[in-house]
């Protein structure tokens, strides 16, 4: 019984602040500073945010960046993971250690030189320019999850495919990818969410308001002098809702993915 109480408190601690934000977004403007329940629910903040701030554009930019990052990270990650799991390249443990080291980098340490790199490639202030760093920093996670997944597939299947005349690439594509599909889906989810939420690189490499991704748009949301809390709450709710929905639908997957990825490390 006290267990039930603790569980309820824990759930409250986790969900209540976010629900308060959503409530703030739905309050009519005049009642924004009141603390009791609102007299009615109003969608003005949402309408304003969609019409006057470039939030829909920002969400589209974010979606493009996250989708491309996910595809690239899974593609490069699967290749690398398959190699590490089945093909045993030389320096395998060095590669794994290197990937681990990269996942420890403070992003601030890489901001300056990356700026120069993107500038030389002509990718500054463009959503495509974010895909490069995002993919790179998503690789360690993807590689860890997928290496484990491929290792779990019995080696005999690989041998059998080779005997049948498959090249390593087609063995990967025809046999292993379908079998590892659940782990791939999990990795894709985690990468997508991480890319959607990233702030520092997006803040540094994007400047024009129409180019921003959702987190930057929210951080920069301001009218002339003020903090428009109603609109901030509405923008935040909109930017977060897809993720929360994704997280709730794929709960089990996410939980198993996070735990597998971490415990392995």
Partner 1 sequence: MERREVLRWLGAATLASCSRTRGDERSLVFLHQPLWGDVAPFAALLDEFRRTHPDITLITRTAPSASDALHQYLLTTLEGGGDLDVVVVDTIWVAEFARAGWIAELPVSPDEIRRELVTAAAESVIVDGRVWALPWWIDVGVLYTRTDVADPPRTFDELMIAARRGSPGGYLFQGRQYEGLVCNVYETIWGFGGASDAHLVLNTREARAALSFLAALVREGVSPRAVTSAGEEECRRTFQSGRAALMRNWPYAWAELQHSAIAGKVAMTALPSYGGSPGNGCLGGWHLAMSARVPKAKQPFATALIRHLTSEASQAVLARAFGRAPARRALYRRDDLPATRLLEGIVEHARPRPVSPWYPRVSDVLQGEFSAVVSGIRTPSDALSRVQKQIDRLVGA
Partner 2 sequence: MTERRAAISFVSPALLALGLVAAYPILAAIWLSLHRDILVFRDHRFIGGANWSFLLRDARFWAALGHTTYFVLVAVAFELVLGLIFALLLETKGRGRGVLRAAVLVPWAVPTVVSAKLWAWLYDPDHGLITHLLPGHDVNLLGTPLIALHAAIVVDVWKTTPFVALILLAGLQSIPDDVYRAARIDGAPPWTTFRRITLPLLLPTIAVAATFRALDAVRVFDAIFVLTDGGPANTTETLSIYAYKTMLRLGDFGYGATLSVATFMVALAIAGVGIAAQRRAAR
The residues in 224-253 that bind partner 1, with binding defined as CB under 8 A, are 224-227
**Nearest to partner 1 of 22, 125 (CB atom):** 125
64 binds, among partner 1, partner 2, none (CB under 5 to 8 A by kind): none
Buried b / exposed e along 41-78 (16+ C-beta atoms within 10 A)? ebeebbebbbeebbbebbbebbbebbebbbebbbebbb
Q: Which one, 22 or 179, has the nearer CB to partner 2?
A: 22
Per partner kind, with CB cut-offs from 5 to 8 A, the member of partner 2, partner 1, none near residue 210 is partner 1
Q: Min. distance of Cβ 98 from partner 2 in angstroms?
A: 7
Positions in 100-119 near partner 1 (CB under 8 A):
112-113, 115-116, 119
Does 222 contact partner 1 by CB under 8 A?
yes
Q: What does 236 interact with, of partner 1, partner 2, none (CB < 5 to 8 A by kind)? A: partner 2
Query: Which C-beta is closer to partner 2: that of 21 or that of 179?
Result: 21
Which window, 8-16, 97-105, 202-210, 257-265, contacts partner 1 (CB under 8 A)?
202-210
Question: Which of partner 2, partner 1, none does 230 bind, CB closer than 5 to 8 A by kind?
Answer: none
Q: Are 161 and 82 in contact (CB under 8 A)?
A: no
Q: How far is the CB of 137 from partner 1 (least distance, A)?
A: 20
Q: What is the closest distance, in whole angstroms, from the C-beta atom of residue 202 to partner 1 in the complex?
A: 13
Q: Which residues bind partner 1 (CB under 8 A)?
A: 112-113, 115-116, 119-120, 122-126, 207-210, 220, 222-227
């Amino acid at each position: 019984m006290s267990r039930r109480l603790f569980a309820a408190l824990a759930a409250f601690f986790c969900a209540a602040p976010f629900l308060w934000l959503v409530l703030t977004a739905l309050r009519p403007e005049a009642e924004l500073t009141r603390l009791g329940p609102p007299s009615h629910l109003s969608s003005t903040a949402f309408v304003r945010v969609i019409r006057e701030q470039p939030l829909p554009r920002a969400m589209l930019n974010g979606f493009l960046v996250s989708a491309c990052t996910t595809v690239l990270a899974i593609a490069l990650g699967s290749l690398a993971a398959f190699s590490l799991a089945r093909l045993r390249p030389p320096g395998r443990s060095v590669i794994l250690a290197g990937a681990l080291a990269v996942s420890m980098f403070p992003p601030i340490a890489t901001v300056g030189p990356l700026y120069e790199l993107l500038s030389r490639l002509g990718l500054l202030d463009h959503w495509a320019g974010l895909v490069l760093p995002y993919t790179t920093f998503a690789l360690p996670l993807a590689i860890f999850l997928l290496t484990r997944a491929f290792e779990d597939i019995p080696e005999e299947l690989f041998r059998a495919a080779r005997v049948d005349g498959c090249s390593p690439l087609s063995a990967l594509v025809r046999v292993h990818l379908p079998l590892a599909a659940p782990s791939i889906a999990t990795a894709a989810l985690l990468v997508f969410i991480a890319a959607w939420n990233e702030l520092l690189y997006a803040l540094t490499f994007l400047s024009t308001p129409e180019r921003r991704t959702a987190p930057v748009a929210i951080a920069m949301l301001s009218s002339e002098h003020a903090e428009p809390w109603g609109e901030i709450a509405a923008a935040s709710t909109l930017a977060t809702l897809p993720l929360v929905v994704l997280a709730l639908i794929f709960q089990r997957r996410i939980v198993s993915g996070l735990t597998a990825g971490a415990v392995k490390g």
